[in-house]
Chain A
């Protein structure tokens, strides 16, 4: 069976790392423009993983990173407390990158 592009990336650590980093960057840029950027980012970082399990873990990590970047930005701006005080909206904000990042990485289980 011929080697696909994804197989080539998954089998070579250097390519895998480069593709994952590119996925992270692309995912974050997309997420600043649209919430589905986290879904895209999750897929992009999950697909190069060697196994499905690792793909899902990478997607989850990407989502957690997204939540972390969001909270850190608010912390630096001095508005973290006020954002958290909004309750449900803040919960949606924190959970959205995690859920979407993990969901995006499900692409690894498909391809």
Chain B
């Protein structure tokens, strides 16, 4: 009897314990996420539902091709954009939710403490209010209703389709998508491209180095002959100064008059994209092509993530076929082509962000003749698994405030106001040629981009787009690469209303921005735009290695004539590294007798950073070691610990033997190069590597940092300085490659897959082709639609 009772007691205790573990946290949380059959992480494992879907906007279909690129066909525009929303909401919902959370400062609510610093920064910048102002800006314009239809489509997918695995892993549900969320996506990419702390970084570096060294290592402009608008360019040129050079060209770092803590600036830089992010885009006029159609190519070098930053889609409604890529969360094709032409963008390096210091006591600040209180409010950040955290959001008349200890600066950025870029992009899809495109670009407020277009009738266009502030100090135009005295006030932007609607009155007029109508060819790679612009534009241009190579090859092709799309693709795959052209010979000359054999492969090298190349491996190792030898210790000794403070690569590659920096180091260039070679030899001895491909491995991660969600590692060609572009250390590179002949045919490729669904066959199906420089034809999908929309009144 006692034994029976004991057995029952033990069994009851075990049963109760398991039941309690299944009901109470954390056991309950694990089971909810991962249990067989009901686990949230497995909801999507059996694929999306698709099928028949009710739409208030009328009939439409989504047909996917073998790479899960949707072709949306609809009887009306609104029915079409509802379907586009449904497609994106099905394929990329977690990515969309993650990005809006980042921009709203709501990451910590799902990822806990690791998201807290990001949330603090994004709350203080108040991107949400800027997106709200942007949504207000485009209401009562032709895109208001399409955006509402798109948002309804996203929410239909959110409610109807099984949620992606990430929601299960993090154990939360997606809240409804809103139009403001769509504009947060615009703010995110614009911040990434133009939200630079370069001004603060330069001020910090100038503070740490003596003037001669600073001027040598951080020149305002790079000395090269390959600006976008070259002096010998044909076509109708706009935005170039007639004579006397550009106003406001004097150096301005001395004017900052502010000590900035390097650690503070470095920590802020974590919320900007890595330096050196760039892109290639070019166009060849129909008079120079074999087909008579204009040719254009574009490959934006953005962050490489799983899934990719871009979502590829094709629309066939409203009398237009449009094919290209957009950012998930944005309904309109950003880079692509329609029946009449193709377009693309590269970052312009224009300066659209300023910083202002104040005479302040902490609560108030001097502004002209008056004393003003900071506009202040407190917000609460929810943190998963920890108590809520309060954050103070402060603003001045110029914009949001960043405060660290005793330092206070306000940030003025053209994205902190209502912008109409989405309207411009919408109009591009409907364009029927050059005139329509130029008209559309007038609304392209943000980000500042080099826009390139080629039409089916052979026309070409280069236009700098985006609002560019004009600043004055003491009545003189100046560049924005200084910290302005906000109390004076100086350098203010006329017609700019932070978090409201701006008139843009004091900004560079559209007609005075650099542009070339119908050039024979145009080549952009984030380099200096024009030698003497009519107005100061900026100085944040990229190293010109890619630009030099691009223009050299384009010029040669056009001289020969009858240029083809295949040659454009070949150019996009070009792996010649101009850094190597500049440095290979000095390396060989500096090598000691014991190092000669090691550097011998550089002698007969074609400077191509190809995976099977031994010379490319040797150069890559020496290049990295050379930078380390030049800057690591010396900059750290000056308080500049982060690699972000190191000089641009153009300076490193062209630093002459008699440079002041070598005197400061107390070593000759040859000695530094020999030390770099020695380090490279040591690496080879340790790793046994024989070819560049053993180092040039791209391992694209998922933002959630679960290894199984990341892509498989792939070997590829190219370097940060080649047209076939990859930055394996900062995980950036060609985020989309596109070559278009007028209104088609077109080819493209994504670094991964179009589906963001981990379980999908198309999660990373394009990765190998991307790494190997292959393309897909950008054509519409045929076959049976995966989703049919019915109902509504046809919009």
**Which residues of A pack against B, CB within 8 Å?**
28, 31-39, 43, 52, 66-67, 69-70, 73-74, 77-79, 82-83, 85-87, 89-90, 92-94, 96-97, 99-100, 103-104, 106-107, 109-110
Contact = CB atoms under 8 A, between A and B. Distances in A.
Contact of A89 (B7, B19, B33, B759): B33
Given A35-B22, A77-B45, A85-B708, A106 B38 contact: no
Contact of B47 (A37, A67, A77, A99): A77
B34 A106 contact: no
B102 to A, nearest CB: 24
Contacts of B35: 31, 35, 38, 92-93, 96-97, 100
Contact of B39 (A82, A93, A104, A107): A93
Contact of B36 (A39, A93, A109): A93
B36 A70 contact: yes
Interface in B753-795: 758-759, 761
A83 to B, nearest CB: 6
Contact of A103 (B15, B32, B47): B15
Q: Which of B23, B39, B165 has the most CB atoms of chain A within a 10 A radius of its CB? A: B39
Give the size range of B's interface with the partner: 20 to 34
Nearest to A68: B36
Contacts of A31: 35-38
A35 B47 contact: no
Nearest to A95: B36
A92 B758 contact: no
B34 A109 contact: no
A104 B21 CA distance: 13
A106 B759 contact: no
Contact of A66 (B11, B37, B169, B706): B37
B603 interface: no
Shortest beta-carbon contacts, A-B, top 5: A109-B11, A35-B35, A70-B36, A35-B31, A103-B18
Nearest to A82: B759
A87 B708 CA distance: 8
A107 B18 CA distance: 12
A34 B580 CA distance: 61
Contacts of A34: 38
Q: Which of B11, B15, B35 has the most CB atoms of chain A within a 10 A radius of its CB? A: B35
Given A39-B18, A92-B30, A73 B46 contact: yes
Q: Which of B7, B37, B42, B708 has the most CB atoms of chain A within a 10 A radius of its CB? A: B37
A32 B39 CA distance: 8
Contacts of A66: 36-37
Nearest to A99: B18
Contacts of A39: 18-19, 22
A110 B12 contact: yes
A4 to B, nearest CB: 15
Q: Which of A67, A69, A100 has the most CB atoms of chain B within a 10 A radius of its CB? A: A100
B36 A110 contact: no
Contacts of A110: 8, 11-12, 15
Contacts of A35: 22, 31-32, 35, 38-39
Nearest to B759: A79
Given A82-B759, A92-B34, 15 more contacts: A32-B38, A37-B37, A52-B7, A70-B42, A77-B45, A79-B45, A83-B42, A89-B39, A89-B41, A93-B36, A93-B42, A94-B36, A96-B31, A96-B36, A110-B15
A70 B41 CA distance: 13
Contacts of B11: 106-107, 109-110
Contacts of A78: 761
A70 B169 CA distance: 18
B38 A33 contact: yes
B15 A104 contact: yes
Interface in B691-715: 706, 708
A93 to B, nearest CB: 5
Given A79-B45, A83-B45, A106 B39 contact: no
Contacts of A28: 37
